[in-house]
Structure 1
Amino acid sequence: MNYDAIILGAGAAGLLAAATAGQAGARVLLLDHAEAAGKKILISGGGRCNFTNTGAGPGNYLSENPHFAKSALARYTQWDFLALVERHRIAWHEKTLGQLFCDGSARQIVTMLLDECARGGVEIRLSTPIGEIVHGDGMFRVAGATAPQLVLATGGPSIPKMGATGIAYDIARRFGLGIVPPRPALVPLTLGPDAQDLTGISGLSCPVTARVGTASFTEAALFTHRGLSGPAILQVSSYWTPGAPVTLTLVENAAERLRAARRKAPRARLRAALSEMLPNRLAEAMAARIGFGTELGNTSDAEIDRAAAALGGLTLFPTGTEGYAKAEVTAGGISTAGLSSRTMEATGVPGLYAIGEAVDVTGWLGGYNFQWAWSSARAAGEAIAARGRS
């Protein structure tokens, strides 16, 4: 059968691209090897889908070309997607740092997108292997269907238990598009034997400022039996490279606070003073790391400064990450150098598009990656319809 476009991947980006193009008059076929649409949407945000962020903008994304996302994000914003949510009467609420969630279930977002596809007359085929893609005479042939336009919306390999693969990269390479080496992002970090004192307090969470290079995030960190997790760690993990340190500020203004503790309780020991600033188990671990057990009144200013340096800049060297199995997204992917920032179309292959997580645009934790999916999908969907009308 002939269509105006075939979209591969019935996730967030694929569903909205299909709905956009279909409602603008294009004949669209949406294919996915999974048995259900929007599987990653359903597990996101603890099952409530953190579907966007009020602060979403180009500065919240990593890419080899940091300017690439500007056009799509400006033309379909978080407020545009929120308006769609509200048209479908989906109740929502805002959590910290501008994160927007469904009051009910993430399934409401999937249902909304499927309803939008139905309005556009989109044909959806699930449990359909993509198989071989044949391209010739300006047409793409996939799974028995033919169209002059093909959209890669299959995401990246993060969360493979949901059926995620790197097939988009294989297809892109075949058509001559470059690939920025993919890596797990928004992922827990692992620590080695030199940090057994910290992995020994697994389950403990506390607010920190985590830094990797010039990137820093002030949120909670979670100590695990294998290393570090929690929002602050997931954020900096996207910037982390093997061998690089991660620095945690556990106590702000530590020197000032320790001197105040020394004046107030000179007979107290460091662990007791730290327990006023940190959870008890972390206070004990840090007191042991810092390594002096004398009463605070007997500590020198140099010792106070040394303790403050450890509390204000605990430097750790992760041994790696928990990998794609625990990564919320994939960084890297199809290089933006071969794509139009306005339409997401491959500049060297007319009719071929790449959107969403498959592209080398990776957002922060907190709804930013969904917003990139919506914005890039809208750009491609409008371009598909415009080409069909021309």
Structure 2
Amino acid sequence: MPAATFLRDCWQKRPLLIRNAFPGFVSPIEPEDLAGLACEDAALSRLISHDRSRDGWQVRHGPFDEAEFPGMPDHDWTLLVQDVDKWDADVAALLESFDFLPRWRIDDVMVSFAAPGGSVGAHVDQYDVFLLQAHGRRRWQIDASDAPPIAFRDDVELKLLRQFNPTHEWVLEPGDMLYLPPGVPHHGVAEDACLTFSIGMRAPSAAELLGDFVDALASEADESLRYRDPDLGVPRDPFEIDATAMGRVVEALNALRMNDPDRLGDWFGRFITQYRSAGAVMPDDAPLSADRVGQALGAGATLYRHPFSRLAWRKAMRGARLYVSGQVFEVPVADARLIANAATLDMAAFAALSVRGRDCVSELLRSGHYQPVDESDIDQ
């Protein structure tokens, strides 16, 4: 199916089962790798167990002790690890197959290992998700009806559906993929020990957008902009907030609105490249100037972008704005496009940048968004 057809007919409209989406797919990681990652302090992991006898659910959060995995039961539990693409380059490479979507919309690749019978229960996500079967088999049920019930149970920590009425059911084999739009109830149960990759989207709620937007407005607000009433008349009741007063409130708030497209775009660019960040990028202790970076690259070095760095760019009134994990850089359009799309930079790419683009890369290196140049490449 052409990408344009998928976006027109399925994206945020209806589920789609794609058999053999990744022909001959072999998981780039093993269950043991996932368990090891779940033991890392910086990894976001959960262990979900299901007691079928009483339909009880237990959730534990990592990091976990390696010694506990060999003693786990042989059924009815699931290990989930977020942002595996930030830790494993082969998993991150899968995202290249989703380049028909805006890259800033893709959140992460969550990987789950489930023992036979393992599940996280019937639930609903408020974002698009692609469920790629990587190893073993998983049975998926979905409710694709027009108005499915979405009330949650109040007896478990997880947001599980109180009622689930599946309309479709499939067993996915390695390489099969299921696309689900937001709001489609679904339930996956492992037929045997299996790995599932969930490619999820960034979909901030209106409340999250509004909260950050208001914070941005407040931080930049001019203290001289205040509620004013030069046309005040004698009130009929001094305790009444009348319609005229509320009109002045609206006028005061309207004075704060971002009518400048660049300011509004800068706010959203900063917000979306920070939203649900997997981890912090730390500055380099030994920064290099643009000239020194060029020397290092000329000596054969390559700059590798930090896996936690998130980039996006947009055209502005002059050139482009490049957003990197909340930072903003004003660079030519060609530079913004090159830097955002290149996970690595060699001498040829660096030389293709303008002076402002090279300065931007140098600043990103100082901020930790590229791996430091190896000391053997240049005498620091």
Q: TM-score range by the shorter chain?
A: under 0.3
Q: TM-score by structure 1 length?
A: 0.21
